[in-house]
Amino acid sequence: MCGIVGYIGTHEASPILVAGLRRLEYRGYDSAGVAVLDGDRMVVRKRAGRVRVLEEALDREPATGSCGISHTRWATHGPASDRNAHPHVGGRGEPAVAVVHNGVIENHDSLRRELEAEGFPFRSQTDTEVIAHLIARELGDGNELFTAVQRALPRLAGTYGLAVVSPRCPGEMIGSRLGSPLVVGLGDGEYFLASDAMAIAPHTAQVAYLQDGESVRLTTRDFEIRHQEHGSITPRIDRIDWKPDAVELGGHAHYMLKEIYEQPDTVIDACRGRIRRDEATARFGGLNLATRQLRRVRRVVLAACGTSWHAALVGEYLIERLAHLPVEVEYASEFRYRNAPLDDRTLVFVLSQSGETADTLGALREAKRRGHPTLAIVNTVGSTIAREADGGIYLHAGSEVGVASTKAFSAQVTVLTLLALHLGRLRNLSFGEGMAVVEAIDSIPGAIGRVLATEPAIKAAAERLAPARSALYLGRDIHFPVALEGALKLKEISYIHAEGYPTAEMKHGPIALIDRETPSVFVAPRGSLHAKTLSNIEEVRARHGSIIAVGTEGDDELARLSDVFLPIPDVPEVIQPLVAVVPLQLLAYHVALLRGCDIDKPRNLAKSVTVE
Ligand code: F6R
């Protein structure tokens, strides 16, 4: 979603800003822009389209100066256009201020009317422009920039991560945060501001995360953080752990493919240091809950969005199976506004790759507001969810750049398998049963590796799926969430409509869709309900539907019933989702490739959804 990069120092700002924006491209956006100060001269360049288009504009008409802000916009209010791109300028005459903004201003309509009545000219359809004019109005009243920003902010209802510069106050930059992340990077005689530490990671490892209600003033010499209500804040400096090559393509055509191929390592990294063989269990350092408290738990709630929600559904099956605890999986966006009953024996987890998803953060805050301890399963270290949760488990999956989540799903399911094992071993799961799970987990990386080696066959299967307008993904029991995830992958990167269903549900409606043009993808490794799945496949065949099946290698009957059979190794049921999802990821990838889609930047999607 929208990205912010700011720089103040002694170097030319534009190249640093553009390089920073490039590092945020993976988040999804549709226009980009910069505002650069050269003394008291401010140049704004902004363009609809890719960062490349902005860069070309800057090549033709450079914006020189060593202080500037920049932005990639993901349209919310008003379509993607040069005018609606950020930065937005404020002031009645010559622009007094330039602003970039992540988030949504809910009362922008009434503010716009008020400001228009006072003669502030509006040039865009965005909600952001009111912020620029509000700050300009405060500047006009003789306030210095930091004070002007802080005086304007209470007028805003909604969420923001902001970066602000003013030609009237050269040599400083202001950032503010409420509900949308912002991080300060500390360099040598230079400072950076970004919505995602990844944008500034090549320049510095030292960062200070702003908290909600805080603003920062940056100059080339120092920085100062103030809270809207509590005044000056002593910043906490963190180090970001970032490997320079972690975001390179490493010879793969796309980040998505690279991340699919990383999954054997993802599983190993998610397990590292967490398996206790002597006790046939798993342990987590960060849960901050005593064994006694975990034994008291009678119910688990898992709240998440999108792919993380699918991982949570796999978790539901695993926790119920291994620990016999009732689990409810909630859409975070629903949970946060529902009055879902929680008691002190309910364990609430939120799951998020980015750790910044607005609805998941909202769910976490709602549980906290009700006095409930909250736990998070998160990938991004230092993200808002990671910092606000009372305890949690990191995925250690490294940066996930591909917009379509793959390795984060695998890391989440791995962690949930370990969690189910841990909760199970605190209850009814015997040593032998626990050890069988540990051994199954040990076999996952090898099994995924073997599926990856079947990519040529998956590529051939993609040719059958690529012309389709619609597809069904079907799975039973623990494979139902895998079917949902496979369908999501297909629709988000290839734009083919796909629906995931529990296999037997097909008869209750979706079967009406089956015809020669609508393929069904069955997730059907051998397991307790396999015979029933085979009957369901027969039902589709009887209606001339074509069948792609993911099944256990050597399953001749399934192979005979399918038009395309994609084998996976014979592994225990508890880890089958981690292995069975891989052919579906590759299938979606190759379908998208055949259809000429922009795989790492699918239309309309954002990597981190920081608005509701
Ligand atoms: C799909 C995908 C999204 C995210 C969802 C939640 O490939 O990536 O569905 O899973 O937006 O994001 P996180 O996990 O960052 O909270």
| Higher local confidence (pLDDT), 217 or 78 | 217
Average pLDDT over residues 593-603: 91
Give residue 242's pLDDT. 64
Joined together, the tokens standing for residue 261 give 């191929």
Q: Which of 173, 207, 159 is nearest to 69 (CA)?
A: 173
Distance 285 CA to ligand 1 centre (A): 25
Give residue 319's pLDDT. 98
Average pLDDT over residues 149-158: 95
Report the nearest atom of ligand 1 relative to the CA of 606. Answer: 11
Q: Which of 423, 410, 448, 441 is nearest to 308 (CA)?
A: 410
| HSE toward the beta carbon, residue 107, CA cutoff 13 A | 12
Q: Is the CB of 404 under 6 A from ligand 1?
A: yes
| HSE toward the beta carbon, residue 388, CA cutoff 13 A | 27
Whether residue 410 contacts residue 578, with contact meaning beta carbons closer than 8 Å, is answered with yes
Q: Is the CB of 306 under 6 A from ligand 1?
A: yes
Task: Residue 82: count other Cβ atoms within 10 Å of its Cβ.
Answer: 15
Cis peptide bond upstream of 87, omega within 30: yes
Q: Is the CB of 130 under 6 A from ligand 1?
A: no
Q: Is the CB of 354 under 6 A from ligand 1?
A: yes
Q: Which of 608, 580, 373, 359 is nearest to 458 (CA)?
A: 580
Query: Using CB atoms within 10 A of its CB, is residue 602 exposed (0-12), middle (13-18) or buried (19+)?
Result: buried
Give residue 150's pLDDT. 97
Residue 276's DSSP bridge partners are 281
SS3 call for 281: strand
Q: Whose CA is nearest to atom 10 of ligand 1?
A: 307
**Which residue from 405, 589, 600 has its CB within 8 A of the most atoms of ligand 1, so it is best to mutate?**
405
Report the nearest atom of ligand 1 relative to the CA of 608. Answer: 15
Distance 165 CA to ligand 1 centre (A): 32
Q: What's the mean per-residue pLDDT of the chain? A: 93
Distance 525 CA to ligand 1 centre (A): 26
For 397-479, where are the alpha helices, taking DSSP H only?
A: 407-425, 431-442, 444-452, 455-465
Query: Using CB atoms within 10 A of its CB, is residue 331 exposed (0-12), middle (13-18) or buried (19+)?
Result: middle
| Packed helices 108-117 and 129-140: angle between N→C axes, nearest 10 degrees | 40
Active site (annotated) includes residue 607: yes
Q: Whose CA is nearest to atom 11 of ligand 1?
A: 306
Whether residue 196 contacts residue 181, with contact meaning beta carbons closer than 8 Å, is answered with yes
Share of the chain above pLDDT 90, in %: 79
pLDDT band at 336 (very low <50, low <70, confident <90, very high): confident
Which residue of the set 258, 407, 601, 607 is catalytic? 607
Instruction: Please name the helix (run of DSSP H) or strand (run of DSSP E) that holds residue 164, with its range, or none.
Output: strand 160-165
User: What is d(CA 149, CA 98) in angstroms, rounded to the nearest whole number?
Assistant: 12
Whether residue 192 contacts residue 69, with contact meaning beta carbons closer than 8 Å, is answered with no
pLDDT greater than 90 at residue 288? no
pLDDT greater than 90 at residue 568? yes
Average pLDDT over residues 107-123: 96
3-class secondary structure per residue, 288-353: CCCHHHHHHCCEEEEEECHHHHHHHHHHHHHHHHHHCCCEEEEEHHHHCCCCCCCCCCEEEEEEEC
Lowest model confidence (mean pLDDT) among 10-24, 232-246, 397-411: 232-246
**Which residue from 74, 259, 357 has its CB within 8 A of the most atoms of ligand 1, so it is best to mutate?**
357
Give residue 148's pLDDT. 97
Question: What would the pLDDT profile of 299-319 be if each residue is shown by its tens digit?
Answer: 999 999 999 999 999 999 999
Distance 313 CA to ligand 1 centre (A): 14
Tell me how far the alpha carbon of residue 198 is from its chain's centroid: 14
| Higher local confidence (pLDDT), 399 or 228 | 228
Whether residue 195 contacts residue 161, with contact meaning beta carbons closer than 8 Å, is answered with yes
Q: Is the CB of 211 under 6 A from ligand 1?
A: no
Q: Is the CB of 611 under 6 A from ligand 1?
A: no
pLDDT greater than 80 at residue 338? yes
pLDDT greater than 70 at residue 517? yes
For 126-275, where are the alpha helices, taking DSSP H only?
A: 129-140, 145-152, 255-261, 263-271
Q: Whose CA is nearest to atom 3 of ligand 1?
A: 306
pLDDT greater than 80 at residue 33? yes
Question: What would the pLDDT profile of 483-514 be if each residue is shown by its tens digit?
Answer: 999 999 999 999 999 999 999 898 898 888 88
Q: Is the CB of 417 under 6 A from ligand 1?
A: no
Report the DSSP pairing between strands 374-378 and 346-352: parallel
Report the nearest atom of ligand 1 relative to the CA of 609. Answer: 11
Q: Is the CB of 609 under 6 A from ligand 1?
A: yes
Q: What angle do CA 479, 266, 238 make, to 5 degrees?
A: 125
Whether residue 562 contacts residue 547, with contact meaning beta carbons closer than 8 Å, is answered with yes
pLDDT greater than 90 at residue 204? yes
Q: Is the CB of 477 under 6 A from ligand 1?
A: no
Give residue 246's pLDDT. 55
pLDDT greater than 90 at residue 382? no
Q: Which of 526, 567, 530, 570 is nearest to 550 (CA)?
A: 567
Q: Which of 153, 144, 151, 197 is nearest to 177 (CA)?
A: 153
Average pLDDT over residues 98-118: 94
Give this prediction's pTM: 0.79
pLDDT greater than 90 at residue 587? yes
pLDDT band at 30 (very low <50, low <70, confident <90, very high): confident
pLDDT greater than 90 at residue 460? yes
pLDDT greater than 80 at residue 247? no
pLDDT greater than 70 at residue 245? no
Query: Using CB atoms within 10 A of its CB, is residue 100 exposed (0-12), middle (13-18) or buried (19+)?
Result: buried
Joined together, the tokens standing for residue 206 give 């030292």
Question: What would the pLDDT profile of 49-83 be if each residue is shown by its tens digit?
Answer: 999 999 999 999 999 999 999 999 988 888 889 99
Average pLDDT over residues 544-551: 95
Active site (annotated) includes residue 601: no
pLDDT greater than 90 at residue 215? yes
pLDDT greater than 70 at residue 295? yes
Average pLDDT over residues 124-142: 95
Give backbone dihedrals phi and psi of 143, rounded to 5 degrees, phi first. -80, 150
pLDDT greater than 90 at residue 248? no
Average pLDDT over residues 326-331: 97
Average pLDDT over residues 591-606: 89
User: What is d(CA 579, CA 450) in angstroms, rounded to the nearest whole number?
Assistant: 9
Average pLDDT over residues 209-230: 94
User: What is d(CA 137, CA 121) in angstroms, rounded to the nearest whole number?
Assistant: 12
pLDDT band at 607 (very low <50, low <70, confident <90, very high): confident
Q: Which of 138, 128, 86, 122 is nearest to 106 (CA)?
A: 128
